[in-house]
Amino acid sequence: MLRMDRASISLEPSQLMELEAIITDEDEHLALKFVRKYVYNAILKSQQGRLKSHLDGSADPVGDFK
């Protein structure tokens, strides 16, 4: 799941050419595939490995204390 932070990604020249072709062709199906393959995955990857607060989880942080 993505955190709701500001994010930026960079695209390779080949990805930019693919995006240009999708926009030119107005291909909605390929546009969604492109977003899933490059944009979503790039943002997800950039957020992995970052430090997270114990308060960010859905579990009770004090539930394990005895």
- Residue with more model confidence, 22 or 46: 22
Cβ(22)–Cβ(7) under 8 Å? no
Domain assignment of residue 26, given as a range: 13-47
Residue 24 lies in a domain: yes
Residue 19 lies in a domain: yes
| Average pLDDT estimate for 19-26 | 95
Of the listed ranges 2-6, 27-31, 36-40, the least confidently predicted one is 2-6
CA 8/CA 24 separation, integer angstroms: 24
Residue 8 lies in a domain: no
Angle 23-29-33 from CA coordinates, rounded to 5°: 90
The tokens 């005895």 sit on which residue? 66
Q: Compute how many other C-beta atoms are within 10 angstroms of the C-beta atom of residue 1.
A: 5
pLDDT confidence of residue 13: 95
| Average pLDDT estimate for 21-37 | 95
